[in-house]
Amino acid sequence: MLPYSQVYGHNTTVDISRNQLIKIPVFKTTILQDGYIDYLLNEKSNNRMKNETGTEPKFTTKTSPKAEPALQELFMDSIMDIYWAENHLVKNLPKMIDAATSSKLKTAINDHLAQTKTHVTRLEQVFELLGEDALAKKCDAMEGLAKEGEGIVESTESGTATRDVGIILASQKIEHYEIATYGGLTQLAKTLGHDDVAELLYQTLTEEKAADQLLTDVAENDINFKASEEA
């Protein structure tokens, strides 16, 4: 019998004190005091190790060739997230159009509403290219941004340029969220080899940037000055 301090091979017989024999699958070992051995059973390639909260990570690395890579799962989850966000905007933007006073701002938001409907359709094309059903996952960020916009409308006086400024601020926060999302998703699609998907996402990214710039132009060339003159 080898002393307890010697551990070797897989399925090794080890004396851990009290003359007790056990068989353990050894992948990593650490020798501790008093003749005890701390070992890790790497049975699932440590892809299912729990985090500090005691819950398993949502996106985990896998060894099975048939399993979806964790990055692909994260990518799909993000696609479902922005799909919900775009559909939510289709319902929310008409409220902003009704609340706005400036004709230029109304036109800008109305144009973006038409674009957003196109973005929804484009995302459905993305799902199809990926061989997945078009499913939406609630986007907490977009829900919060939309509620913030509604709060600005409720807290400002109807027919004022000040309300229009607030609507632009809220709208640009949404645009920046979408720009960050589509920018990141475009890069992920390229990394994962989904070049056709990346092209569609990049089209939307370009349109979101243009919409953001249009809102800036409307604010700087008209509305901000009018708002500054209001009591």
pLDDT tens, per residue, the chain with 231 residues: 444 334 334 444 444 444 444 444 444 333 344 443 343 333 333 443 344 344 455 655 454 455 468 999 999 999 999 999 999 999 999 999 999 999 999 999 999 999 999 999 999 999 999 999 999 999 999 999 999 999 999 999 999 999 999 999 999 999 999 999 999 999 999 999 999 999 999 999 999 999 999 999 999 998 999 999 997
Distance, CA of 32 to CA of 153 (rounded, Å): 65
Query: What pLDDT score was predicted for residue 29?
Result: 37
Phi–psi pair at 127, nearest 5 degrees: -55, -45
Query: What pLDDT score was predicted for residue 209?
Result: 98
Task: For the chain, list the domains and their CATH numbers.
Answer: 1-42 (no CATH), 70-221 (1.20.1260.10)
Helix locations, the chain, DSSP H: 70-99, 103-129, 140-155, 161-191, 195-218, 224-228
| CA distances from residue 197 to 66, 109, 142, 200 in whole angstroms, order as listed | 22, 27, 22, 5
Q: Which two tokens stand for residue 124?
A: 């459905």
Query: What pLDDT score was predicted for residue 144?
Result: 98
CB of 117 closer than 8 Å to CB of 91: no
pTM of the full structure: 0.72
Query: What pLDDT score was predicted for residue 231?
Result: 74
Query: What pLDDT score was predicted for residue 92?
Result: 97
Q: Around 10, how many Cα atoms within 13 Å sit in the side-chain half-sphere? A: 4
